[in-house]
A and B are shown apart, each in its own frame.
Chain A
Amino acid sequence: MFSEQLSKKFDKMVTNYPTKRSALVPMLLFAQDEVGYLSDEVITDLAKRVDLTELEVKNVISYYSMLHTKLMGKYHVQVCTNISCMLRGGEELLDHCKSKLGIGHKQTQPDGLFSLEEVECIGACSWAPAVQVNYDFHENLTPAKMDKVLDQYAKKAKQ
């Protein structure tokens, strides 16, 4: 299911806590990073590792906004529109991304390259407006700068 490296990491992680399930949230996130999303197979595998039922794992997944049970784009563009970003053009940036990428909130392009999500505060308030593409922060953006960021990712995908 997982690479040997990640599997080893999981084996170590469950020993970091008095109960195995305590490692569940980080494990879900790391599994998602490797597989792309939390498929039924991933859920079954992780449930076994932490001695939970699949239902209990799904119950946890639905609480956390970064965990997805559907495949997102290769590059998941997360635009913050919370207060500090809104005041400096976060909403305009989101609209710009929508028209540039041709998709809406929580949608993925047909070729799976980009997906888009309007997110809550990502902790970049003093450097607003900010966007996260996967885990990378892009700050102090304007629509023109955003175009460059998106073009870079599109280029990277082709390499």
Chain B
Amino acid sequence: MADLVSHPDETKVVSSRFGKGATNIDRYIELDGYKAVRKALEMTPDAIINEVKTSSLRGRGGAGFPTGMKWSFVPKESAKPKYVLVNGDESEPGTCKDRLILEHDPHAVIEGVIIAGLAVGAQKGYIYIRGEYRYLLTIMQKAIDDAYAKGFLGDNIFDTGKKFDCYWHTGAGAYEVGEESALMESLEGKRGIPRIRPPFPAVVGLWGGPTVINNVETLASVPHIMLMGGQKFADFGPPKNGGTRLFCLSGHVNKPGVYELPLGYPMEKLIYGVGGGISNGKKLKAVVPGGSSTYLLTADEAVKMNLDFDSFAKTGGFLGSGGVVVLDEDTCMVKFALRVMKFYQHESCGWCIPCREGTDWLKKTLTRFHSGGGVKKDIDNINYLAQNMLGRTFCPLGDAAAIPTISIVQKWRQEFEDHLEGKPCPYEHKGIPAPAFA
């Protein structure tokens, strides 16, 4: 389906089986598949968690929480069954990596789920895939069936007497469900309204049982960590930012695509080297570093950044989901802010007032601005409204809407002023890049 790309700078770990027919279970086994779980079966749960801690693997969904630590929060004893839940509700604008993993390497996800289950003492795993990715359900269904047929799933996995069941599940179109508590609500057959925390899912999660929730890429990394050893995986990236990551390059670049690069890779090389530079020979204006809910970077800021969690945290930003969106010099930032807000307004569930009202008012204000009807005090109002959404909602959707807006209105204030007094948008985009793949 989706086109694969390659670049010499890539370190292919999670993507090592892409395009190699690994959806076939025998082929997957040939490519070192299901070796990691056999190794894990001979280890104690603590040893598995320690290996993941050593790897310094951090959540690939966007938050970057240390995976080993997350697993260690699950209580050892529990009256209720424990669960592993895979978050494949990939919906963050700019992000399209989990789709490739599920399409090319579904068994790696299943293997990661079993290992996570062994680590926390869960006997059931659910793989939640967003509704739009229907063709991936067929792939996942076959992968699960094949794993059962080989005795890798079921009542006696790998003849060890241990039990593990794995199921697929599908959403039906909702961005917010990518947030972990809303994800659980959705899996339980309800509206995806977030839950208040604490209690955290590791203690009270699915159907009240302790639940580990990890992104698809996070769990697909786990078998590689078990096989190569946590230290080797950690050494790919800078300290505390272990491993590689799938970066989804999109927007105004010559070679968009999903590239697997070590964490800490320079953004400048990603855009100008791997990505082949800005399309149509234009100049860089801005970069969305990791999905639409991260602070946007100006061209000057972007070329100085390294792509790891801590480099971004130091500047008060977020590395996010791996969705790097590149904007050229002709892009209207007011229009961009409006499109982002239109999205969050559409996706807000309406549960928390700051998010429901904030996104709606911001959309209205930005619409007015872009069509030339803005007044000067609105520029400060946009910032004020967005600032007041931060941290005031159950789930991070409110923050996700506020963060890009704040960075755009602060860093590109001049563009808002250029739209004042009924002026038509001065940044009308000329020359849409031709499709990158024939």
Report A's interface with B, CB cutoff 8 A.
Answer: 16-19, 21-26, 28-29, 50, 59-60, 62-67, 81-84, 86-89, 92, 120-129, 132, 135-137, 139-142, 145
The size of the chain B interface, using a CB distance under 8 A, is: 64
Question: B260 in the interface, Cβ–Cβ < 8 Å?
Answer: no
20 A–B contacts, CB within 8 A, in A order? A22-B207, A23-B189, A24-B189, A26-B170, A67-B172, A81-B339, A83-B251, A83-B292, A83-B343, A87-B252, A88-B433, A121-B92, A121-B343, A123-B99, A125-B323, A125-B325, A126-B258, A127-B3, A139-B3, A140-B438
Contact A139 B437 (CB under 8 A): yes
Once A22-B189, A64-B131 are accepted as A-B contacts, the answer to whether A84 and B346 lie under 8 Å apart by CB is no
Q: What chain A residues lie within 8 Å of B250 (beta carbons)?
A: 84, 87-88, 125-126, 128
Binds A, one of B65-73, B132-140, B226-234, B376-384: B132-140
A sample of 15 more A-B contacts (CB under 8 A), given A63-B191, A88-B432, A128-B256, is A19-B189, A29-B131, A63-B192, A63-B349, A64-B174, A66-B131, A86-B336, A88-B435, A120-B346, A121-B92, A121-B343, A123-B95, A126-B257, A136-B135, A139-B3
Q: How far is the CA of A71 from the CA of B327 in the complex (A)?
A: 38
Q: What chain A residues lie within 8 Å of B240 (beta carbons)?
A: none
- B171 interface neighbour in A64, A87, A89, A124, Cβ under 8 Å: A64
Give the secondary structure class of A's interface: loop
Contact B171 A83 (CB under 8 A): no
Question: B175 in the interface, Cβ–Cβ < 8 Å?
Answer: yes
Contact A135 B134 (CB under 8 A): yes
Q: How far is the CA of A65 from the CA of B134 in the complex (A)?
A: 15
Contact B92 A84 (CB under 8 A): no
Q: How far is the CA of A135 from the CA of B338 in the complex (A)?
A: 28
Question: B340 in the interface, Cβ–Cβ < 8 Å?
Answer: yes
Contact B90 A50 (CB under 8 A): no
Contact B96 A87 (CB under 8 A): no
Contact A120 B96 (CB under 8 A): no
Contact B251 A123 (CB under 8 A): no
**Which residues of B in the span 183-221 have a Cβ within 8 Å of any Cβ on A?**
186-192, 207
Q: What chain B residues lie within 8 Å of A132 (beta carbons)?
A: 132
Q: How far is the CA of A84 from the CA of B248 in the complex (A)?
A: 11
Q: How far is the CA of A50 from the CA of B190 in the complex (A)?
A: 12
- A89 interface neighbour in B90, B98, B134, B432, Cβ under 8 Å: B432
Annotate B259-294 by CB proximity to A: 1 below 8 A, 0 otherwise. Answer: 000000000000000000000000000001000100
Q: Write the chain B residue with the least CB distance to A122.
A: B132
Report B's interface with A, CB cutoff 8 A.
Answer: 1-3, 5, 81, 90-96, 98-99, 130-135, 167, 169-175, 186-192, 207, 248-252, 256-258, 288, 292, 323, 325, 327, 331, 336, 339-340, 343, 346-347, 349, 432-438
Q: What chain B residues lie within 8 Å of A66 (beta carbons)?
A: 131-132, 172-173
CB distance from B383 to the nearest CB of A (A): 21
- B435 interface neighbour in A25, A28, A63, A140, Cβ under 8 Å: A140
Q: How far is the CA of A2 from the CA of B323 in the complex (A)?
A: 40
CB distance from B419 to the nearest CB of A (A): 18
Contact B93 A82 (CB under 8 A): yes
CB distance from A141 to the nearest CB of B (A): 7
- B93 interface neighbour in A16, A19, A121, Cβ under 8 Å: A121
Once A64-B172, A135-B135 are accepted as A-B contacts, the answer to whether A82 and B343 lie under 8 Å apart by CB is yes
CB distance from B110 to the nearest CB of A (A): 15
Q: Write the chain B residue with the least CB distance to A93.
A: B432
Q: How far is the CA of A115 from the CA of B141 in the complex (A)?
A: 30
**Max chain B Cβ within 10 angstroms of own Cβ: one of A16, A22, A92, A137:** A22
